[in-house]
Amino acid sequence: MNQVVAIAVNTFKETIRDRVLAVIVVFALLMIVGGLWLGSISLGEQGRMMKDFGLVAVTLFGLVVAVFIAAGLVHKEVEKRTVFVLFSKPVGRAAFIAGKFVGLCATMAVVLAGMGVFLFLLVWAVAGEASGMLLVAVLMVYVQLLAIMAVTIFFSTLGSAILASVLGICVFVAGQLSHNVLALTRLGQNAVTEALSWVVYVVIPNLAAVDVKAGAVGESTLAWGEVAVWTGYLLAYVVVVLALAALVFRRKEF
């Protein structure tokens, strides 16, 4: 446990002190401000547009940051040979993976909280009022990204960092759609395709189920019980995927 905390703190320092991260975040904030201009050309709907656009910007930039950091986390330690220091000390491979993930979670929390609060204040300043739902929506983006970070770390133990980033983004996209795929194949009533889509459904995290963006901008009402259940599912998914990553990583030699 001590080791997990130590590695998590170290990973947090490593990622938060990264200049590339700062650049991406500043860029994201500029995009959110850009939404202001978009809002101003869509008459009457200014607040809605800003929220819509802002949440998409938060999601996309959050995704980019999460995937690229997660993909390189393990590789960096191997390439720079800092694994020698870690694994010659009483540090287990599973503790290493867990520590890396927790540290990244902390960094992503800072990044998303920063972007979320910025968006909230901007909406508030421009529209005169802002709903807390906006912040809840950002929180649910964070939950989705947790699953993507875990899956990207898993891929990075199998292959290169670039491959892991690409696959991480693919899983994100698929996770937005996996709900629909199942619904569609059910309509088709073909046993084989339905079985296949069930496999996809289990392997790919169902991210759309915790997406509350539509609720946040007032388009639809939300079933909170369902969102909570799916959040629990995603957290379990994270644990399983990280355990698999640790299993793969245990076989590695340095």
Partner 1 sequence: MTGQSALRIAGLHKAVHVGFRRRRVDILRGVDLEVAGNDVFGLLGPNGAGKTTTVKVALGLMRPTSGSVELGVPGVSHVGYLPENPYFYDYLSGREFLGFCARLFGLGAERRRERVEALLREVGLQDAAGVHLRKYSKGMLQRVGIAQALVNDPELVLLDEPMTGLDPVGRVEVKRIIQGLQERGKTVLFNSHILSDVHELCTRVAIMREGRVAWSGTVDEALDEAATLEEFFMRTVTA
Interacting residues with partner 1 (CB under 8 A): 2-3, 5-7, 9-10, 13-14, 17-18, 80-91, 253-254
C-alpha pair distances (Å), 36 with each of 47, 127, 158, 213: 9, 10, 42, 18
Nearer Cβ to partner 1 (32/83): 83
Closest distance to partner 1 from the beta carbon of 164 (Å): 21
CB of 99 to partner 1, least distance (A): 10
Measured from the CB of residue 84, what is the shortest distance to partner 1 in angstroms?
A: 4
User: Which of 91, 122 has the CB closer to partner 1?
Assistant: 91
Q: Which is nearer to partner 1, 97 or 209 (CB)?
A: 97
CA distances from 175 to 58, 91, 108, 162, 185 (A): 17, 33, 19, 20, 16
Q: How many CB atoms lie within 10 A of CB 83?
A: 19
Nearest to 212 by CA among 145, 137, 139: 137
Looking at the Cβ atoms of 2 and 221, the one nearer to partner 1 is 2
- Residue closer to partner 1 by CB (options 85, 183) is 85
Q: How many CA atoms lie within 13 A of 31 on its CB side?
A: 19
Q: How far is the CB of 65 from partner 1 (least distance, A)?
A: 17
Cβ(97)–Cβ(151) below 8 Å: no
Residue closer to partner 1 (CB basis): 81 or 128: 81
**Measured in Å, how far apart are the chain's first and last C-alpha atoms?**
23
> What's the closest the beta carbon of residue 118 comes to partner 1, in angstroms?
26
Cβ atoms of 205 and 238 within 8 Å: the answer is no
| CB 249 to partner 1: min, Å | 13
